[in-house]
Amino acid sequence: MRLVSPSHAFCYVKPTRKDMTHCMDETDGTWHAIGSSWRDSECMDCTCAGCCSAFSIPSSFDDDCISVFDKVACEYKVYKKDNPSISCPIYGAVGK
């Protein structure tokens, strides 16, 4: 069984002021109204107060499998190293 470091699953907070009506997404440079939520191009679920990773990271799966991040779907896919058409079971994950 393979164990993977959870080093990419995280949240962070951003300072806000009471007089703010909008905030800028630091990744994409887009503006959003206070109280709104969005997903940025780095697969982070955000509000003006902060962001959290929008995906779980597989932390336990068979040794003959590999974990690959699909940035379009914002998720990790786990499949056989020698045959990507065969999915592998995930026994544990970190995040989200």
Q: Where are the domains of the chain?
A: 11-53, 55-94
Tell me the pLDDT tens digit for each residue of 11-57: 999 999 999 999 999 999 999 999 999 999 999 999 999 999 999 99
pTM: 0.75
What does the alpha-carbon distance between residue 30 and residue 50 come to, in Å, rounded to a whole number?
14
DSSP 3: E
- The DSSP code for 40 is -
The CATH code of the domain at 55-94 is: 2.20.25.590
Which of 85, 47, 50 has its CA nearest to residue 65? Answer: 85
Could you tell me if 6 and 94 are in contact, meaning their C-beta atoms sit under 8 angstroms apart? yes
* pLDDT band at residue 95 under the 50/70/90 scheme: confident
